[in-house]
Chain A
Amino acid sequence: MNAPATLQVQKLKRTPLYLVHRRLGAKLVEFAGWEMPVQYRGVIEEHLAVRGRAGLFDVSHMGEVEVRGRGALDLCQMLTANDLSRLQHGQAQYNLLLNEQGGIIDDVVIYPLEADHILICVNASNTDKDFDWIKKRSGGSAEVENTSSHYIQLALQGPLAEKILQRLTRLRLEVIKPFHFLFGEVGGIHSLVARTGYTGEDGFEIFCDPTQGQKLWGALMDAGSEHGLQPAGLGARDTLRLESAFPLYGHELDDSTTPLESRLEWVVKFSKGNFLGREDLLRQKQQGVQRKLVGLEMSEPGIARSHYPILKQGERLGDVTSGTKSPTLGRAIALGYVRAEHAAVGNSVEVEIRDRRVGARIVPLPFYRRQPVEVKAKGGE
């Protein structure tokens, strides 16, 4: 799992907010080479704050790769599965970097900043891999740069996120639709403000210069104090994304997993023309997949965790990739891969938990979906 202790001599990276987290009493852990807050006051409390009010996450460990030049769009189109040519100005896109076999190198969010300038937000654990991959294939008409150190990124997430952020900016946030972004000042700091996130709630991700990180964090916390805004760590980020059935690279996704297996077929636009991995994916689509990502809910006491075997009458169908007890639902939930013929919703299976076989059921995904905005507004604060 972790590298042997002797190899961990490399110092962990810290975001510009490291001392802020320390002062807030955060519990810090290693994540993808970074020393990050996993929780401040408790995972469940932070999780429920995001679902009910708002939470603020430091996600500066996320990487950024920028592609510039007249070949920038073509390069990105060739290396990804979704169709960037469909995007309107100011629109961002969830996308996948694929290898020749259609395996997922990373799942990313792409922000076309200008016609010849594309920002790719990548997973911390994959930053170097992604940069090398794109750089190697860039040719002469596109310049590729790892600009991860040029940004900090904060995620303000929850039903009150817009109200809180609006206090700090003249941007009209109500006109920013989901997966759209604008540039503007937040608390006097030049920022990219995107209506994106990884929690299943409404919210924003804000990028700015690292030197402004502490100031931005402070401004947001102040603006949110009367709305019950709480700092939230990677622990809550993980339980929130799992309830929403968002995949996490290294758990649900890896280089040998394709989008057709991992419920990400909607991302793949076969019609856009050629792209890396297209042929193998088309073949897989015709032949059918061997395994599928499914949602599980435990029907007996126990919590399924990553790598636990999923069985049916003693026969191994696959493995759990993520699992927890859902703070919102109060039930044990999990994601995992099973052989395709057993993937139907309603199917009863077993999860092996410490030599014990515990009953579980395949359920529809996501586990949690937020209420439509209208209903929420009536509920008030």
Chain B
Amino acid sequence: MEFPDGLKYSKEHEWVLVEDKAAIIGITEYAQHELGDIVYVELPEVGEKVVKDDPFAAVESVKAVSDVYAPVSGKVLEINDALPESPETINEDPYGDGWMIKVEMTDMDDLKDLMSAEEYAEYIEQQKGADEEEEEEEDEEEEDEKEKK
């Protein structure tokens, strides 16, 4: 899974590309993979305020709705107009054409809470690792049981 170096990452799986006081925001490769086929995106309007850790958008798979949380506070400068027509772009290119909004940050300190690519990759591994270890143990148990039979 790819986590580009120049970006900052949140625990809720959003990425941020910082350009001076502006921040471009999207969801990570991991997030789009977990969601599955994205079929609908709801974005805020230009001029709206987004608040750090509050939902600012919704993405929907065929199965479910997920909130997208603002990694920083600010005012929406631009939205990705193409997404409502082709939401699958988020699956195909989460760090490029699948970007969601661009905001003017109100507090640059918000960025301090975000992770680097390396830290985020580690964070994902920890989360996945915990699950997989447990599952592998279980698998071995099951295989053992089968052999006994």
Contacts and interface: CB of A to CB of B under 8 A. Distances in A.
A239 B58 CA distance: 20
A22 B135 CA distance: 10
A320 to B, nearest CB: 12
B36 A303 contact: no
A62 interface: no
Contact of A302 (B36, B40, B63): B40
B65 A239 contact: no
Interface string A9-49: 00000000011001000010000000000110011110100
Interface string B51-80: 000000010111111000000000000000
Interface string B4-35: 00000000000000000000000000000000
B25 to A, nearest CB: 19
A292 B129 CA distance: 48
B62 A239 contact: yes
A235 B58 contact: no
Interface in A39-65: 39, 42-45, 47
Given A22-B139, A235-B36, A354 B63 contact: no
Contacts of B84: 301
Contacts of B39: 44, 303, 325
Nearest to B143: A19
Interface residues of B, number: 17
A305 interface: yes
B62 A235 contact: yes
A43 B139 contact: no
A43 B40 CA distance: 15
B5 to A, nearest CB: 28
B62 A43 contact: yes
A39 B96 CA distance: 26
B92 interface: no
A43 B63 contact: yes
Contact of B37 (A19, A43, A354): A43
B142 interface: yes
A354 B58 contact: yes
Given A235-B62, A235-B63, A324-B62, A43 B142 contact: no
13 contacts: A18-B142, A27-B36, A43-B36, A44-B37, A44-B39, A301-B40, A301-B84, A302-B40, A303-B60, A325-B60, A325-B62, A332-B40, A354-B58
